[in-house]
Amino acid sequence: MDLFRPKGSSMKYLPALGALTICLPLLGCGTDERTFTPWVLEELRGDAGFTLRMPEYEVPPSKDSQNCYFVRVPDIADGGDVWIDRIETAINPGSHHMNVFRVKTIKNLRPEDGTPVMLGDYEGTVIEGGDDFDHNPCWVSPNWSDWPLVANSQKSDVDDTKTNWQLPGAVAIRLTPGEMLMVQTHYANHTDQPAEFGARVGINFHSYKRSPPPVEMGTLFATKQSIRVCQSRPTPTYSGTCRFPNAATITAANGHFHQRGERFAIYPWDGASIDHPPESSMFYESLSWDEPPMAINLAVPAPINTGIWWDCDYRWSPPTVETCADVNAKDPLQENDCCYTFGGNTDVGEHCNVFLYYYPKVESDVFCL
Amino acid sequence: MRLALLCAIWIAGCDGGDGSVVDSGVGDADESGDAVDAFVYKPCPIGELTTPAELQIVNFDAAKAIERTQPSQEIALHPAPQGGWMAVIGARARNLDGCSVKLTAAIVDAVDGQIIGVDRRDTRLVVDTDGWGQSSPDTFTNLQVCPQLTSTRDMHGQPYIFKVIVEDADGRKATAEVTAVPRCPPGVNFCTCECDRDYVLGSTCS
């Protein structure tokens, strides 16, 4: 198993920068600012694959910013399916997530409502969600509740902006020319995920060119939506299960939660027991909400009628930017206990999401909502 | 922040009055804004701890009122924020520590015995007038019923087994199960569509 892990120390930079600002004129301190080398990805053209580039923009300090970009899969295989077996991403530091979805049922997040934008060589549209997590359709998750995941990255590291995910063997993602994709970028320019170099995301989809017929990869998205992390009950754990429709092999996984997340763990589940799987069987663990690892090159067997079990452990802490009044305002139960509930903003909402990749995809991508 | 700490203790103390969780400002913020790790665990026994734990299953009805789950009854399905339909299942229990209970709920196919899904979380048992502790409404499990890619039957209008386990930190444990019928809200075709056996996510429900 390989893990895309953060390099270096945790990202508590802003206090350090603040101290630097103060002490520099007084003491003539040495420089300790973050340095960043802008990333470069090759441009894929023709049958090599295709390249998407989300334009650079600034994220206001202490603000979240979520954008939804829409683009159609280009026809690079003479009208045939587009098979992808390598995903490269390059993401400016401070990213909270970058998800690529297939657009299915349209609710209130409509590609045609977006502003035209060029995503590299391809025309697309963008709906800029800013930090309007209460109202903007790019923040309202029911709008993409049945949109299967294609790929994702949670890399946020200033020293390591790229991922290069080669799928195993003949495994590949099948895309259809003209199929609408949505690339969702989320930056949270807070203390733990500073985005002082601006938001900028690039993705390369490399074509499958090997000789065996490709084996289609499927994705599994699972979430706990009724989470509550409350001041008076500060260390809850939420667990769930999700079954595969067929015998499968798990090849990659990552977990996603927010600032109150302490530990995210995923296990194989036999589908026959409601007891917690043994710790020794765990194949994914994240102890870092702001730089969660992505496990790749897994080979976890999931026989027929089995699935996964996952745990999300939390520890309550006060909001870092907003206030408990803001947290209470979005609590549907109005308990006035500073309870973090399901929501996309990292300071006032929480998540407990599994992004998992498996093969072969037989019937459908898998959702456990 | 001292005021916040005092308030938290006061609130927690009130919770203790009904036999639920008591803590001492766990995770509260100190002057620096950091969470305080000053957890002082205080158990809250419900019933007689030396006798076997007992358990009854409860669920949310269509109006989100709590009802005892009876054999063959209908269990209301409730929509979840990001899609899907849930059975909201809780516990009434006694003879255990009501402040450290893990609540596990599972939906099991009554025909082939396959476990379709499991939800586990911490529950807070609040002592009722009859001496039993009941899950506070915000600590019921939300058990996903639909959509269910792996189901072999419709997930609505058909009997399924709902199995529930409670276990406290000292290992006092009770298990109960009941066969009941998940039911979509009347007239909500979107629910029955998503709960059909052959529904595939992303397909159109009219």
- A336-369 pLDDT, tens digit per residue, is 999 999 998 889 999 999 999 999 997 788 989 8
Closest residue of chain A to B80, computed from CA coordinates: A225
| A108-122, A171-185, B13-27, B109-123: range with lowest mean pLDDT | B13-27
How many domains are contained in chain B? 2
Is the domain of A251 the same as that of A305? yes
B49/B18: higher pLDDT = B49
Closest residue of chain B to A321, computed from CA coordinates: B33
Which chain B residues contact residue A235 at CB under 8 A? Answer: 26-27, 39
B203 within a domain of the structure (yes/no): no
Which chain B residues contact residue A337 at CB under 8 A? Answer: 11
- Find the length of chain B: 206
Is the domain of B22 the same as that of B99? no
Is the domain of A246 the same as that of A275? yes
Q: 10 Å Cβ neighbour count for A312?
A: 29
Res. A311: pLDDT tops 60: yes
Q: 10 Å Cβ neighbour count for A62?
A: 16
In the numeric block, which tokens belong to residue A43? 């441009």
Rg (CA), chain A: 21
- A161-177 pLDDT, tens digit per residue, is 899 999 999 999 999 99
In the numeric block, which tokens belong to residue A14? 């802003």
Range B33-59 average pLDDT = 81
Query: Quick one: pLDDT at residue A32?
Result: 54
The 3-state secondary structure of chain A, one letter per residue = CEEECCCCCCCCHHHHHHHHHHHHHHHCCCCCCCCCCCCCCCCCCHHHEEEEEEEEECCCCCCEEEEEEEEECCCCCCCCCEEEEEEEEEECCCEEEEEEEECCCCCCCCHHHCEEEEECCEEEEEEECCCCCCCCCCCCHHHHCCCCEEEEECCCCCCCCEEEEECCCCEEEEECCCCEEEEEEEEECCCCCCCCCCEEEEEEEEECCCCCCCEECEEEEEECCCCEEECCECCCEEEEEEECCCCEEEEEEEEECCCCEEEEEEEEECCCCCCCCCHHHCCEEECCCCCCCEEECCCEEECCCCEEEEEEEECCCCCCCCCHHHHHHCCCCCCCCCCEEECCCCCCEECCEEEEEEECCCCCCEEEC
Res. B37: pLDDT tops 70: no
Closest residue of chain A to B35, computed from CA coordinates: A317
Is the domain of A209 the same as that of A224? no
Confidence tier at A217 by pLDDT (50, 70, 90): very high
Instruction: Give B47 to chain A, closest Cα distance, Å.
Output: 22
In the numeric block, which tokens belong to residue B67? 């009802």
Closest residue of chain B to A242, computed from CA coordinates: B117
Interface membership of A274 toward B (CB under 8 Å): yes
Is the domain of A202 the same as that of A222? no
| CB proximity list for B73: less than 8 A, separation 6 or greater | B180, B181
Is the domain of B9 the same as that of B110? no
Query: Quick one: pLDDT at residue A2?
Result: 62
Res. B10: pLDDT tops 60: no
CA dihedral angle for residue A239, residue A245, residue A250, residue A253, rounded to 10 degrees: -40
The CATH number of whichever domain residue A64 belongs to comes to: 2.60.120.230
Range A191-198 average pLDDT = 79
Q: Which residue has the tokens 């098979």?
A: A83
Is the domain of A281 the same as that of A183? no
Q: Do B117 and A245 touch (CB under 8 A)?
A: no
Instruction: Pick B82's closest partner by Cβ from A145, A239, A363.
Output: A145
CA angle, corner A70, sides to A65 and A73, nearest 5?
A: 140
A29 within a domain of the structure (yes/no): no
Is the domain of A6 the same as that of A139? yes
The CATH number of whichever domain residue B71 belongs to comes to: 2.60.40.1930
Average pLDDT value over all residues in chain A = 88
Instruction: Give B62 to chain A, closest Cα distance, Å.
Output: 17
Is the domain of B124 the same as that of B36? no
Res. A14: pLDDT tops 50: no
Is the domain of B103 the same as that of B162? yes
Interface membership of A354 toward B (CB under 8 Å): no
Res. B95: pLDDT tops 60: yes
Res. A3: pLDDT tops 80: no
Confidence tier at A25 by pLDDT (50, 70, 90): very low
Q: Do A274 and B165 touch (CB under 8 A)?
A: yes
A184 within a domain of the structure (yes/no): yes
Interface subset of A 201-260, CB within 8 angstroms of B:
223-226, 228, 231-245
Q: Do B201 and A245 touch (CB under 8 A)?
A: no
Is the domain of B131 the same as that of B113? yes
Query: Quick one: pLDDT at residue B23?
Result: 37
A142/A170: higher pLDDT = A170
A358 within a domain of the structure (yes/no): yes
| A181-185, A290-294, B40-44, B105-109: range with lowest mean pLDDT | B40-44
* Domain limit, last residue, from A158, A193, A215: A215
Is the domain of A106 the same as that of A54? yes
Instruction: Give A45 to chain B, closest Cα distance, Å.
Output: 30
- The domain in which residue A124 lies consists of 2-23+38-215
Interface membership of A342 toward B (CB under 8 Å): yes
| A16-25, A80-89, A128-137, A203-212: range with lowest mean pLDDT | A16-25
- A313-344 pLDDT, tens digit per residue, is 999 999 998 999 999 999 999 999 999 999 98
Is the domain of B14 the same as that of B71? no
Is the domain of A232 the same as that of A129? no
Confidence tier at A197 by pLDDT (50, 70, 90): confident
A66 within a domain of the structure (yes/no): yes
B204 within a domain of the structure (yes/no): no
B205 within a domain of the structure (yes/no): no
Range A294-304 average pLDDT = 96
Distance CA A366, CA A360 (A): 12
- B125-156 pLDDT, tens digit per residue, is 999 999 999 999 999 999 999 999 888 999 99
Share of residues in chain B with pLDDT > 90 (%): 68
Which chain A residues contact residue B33 at CB under 8 A? Answer: 318, 320
Interface membership of A328 toward B (CB under 8 Å): no
Can you tell me whether residue B103 is helix, strand or coil? strand
Is the domain of B18 the same as that of B96? no
Is the domain of A237 the same as that of A332? yes
Is the domain of B27 the same as that of B53? no
Which chain A residues contact residue B165 at CB under 8 A? Answer: 274
How many domains are contained in chain A? 2
Q: Do B11 and A242 touch (CB under 8 A)?
A: no
Res. B72: pLDDT tops 90: yes
Is the domain of B72 the same as that of B104? yes
Is the domain of B17 the same as that of B98? no
- A32-84 pLDDT, tens digit per residue, is 577 888 889 999 999 999 999 999 988 888 888 999 999 999 999 999 999 99
Can you tell me whether residue B145 is helix, strand or coil? strand
Res. A19: pLDDT tops 50: no
Is the domain of B30 the same as that of B67? no
Closest residue of chain B to A236, computed from CA coordinates: B122
Interface membership of A176 toward B (CB under 8 Å): no
- The domain in which residue B5 lies consists of 1-42
Res. B98: pLDDT tops 70: yes
> Closest by alpha carbon to A274, among B123, B114, B69?
B114
B199 within a domain of the structure (yes/no): no
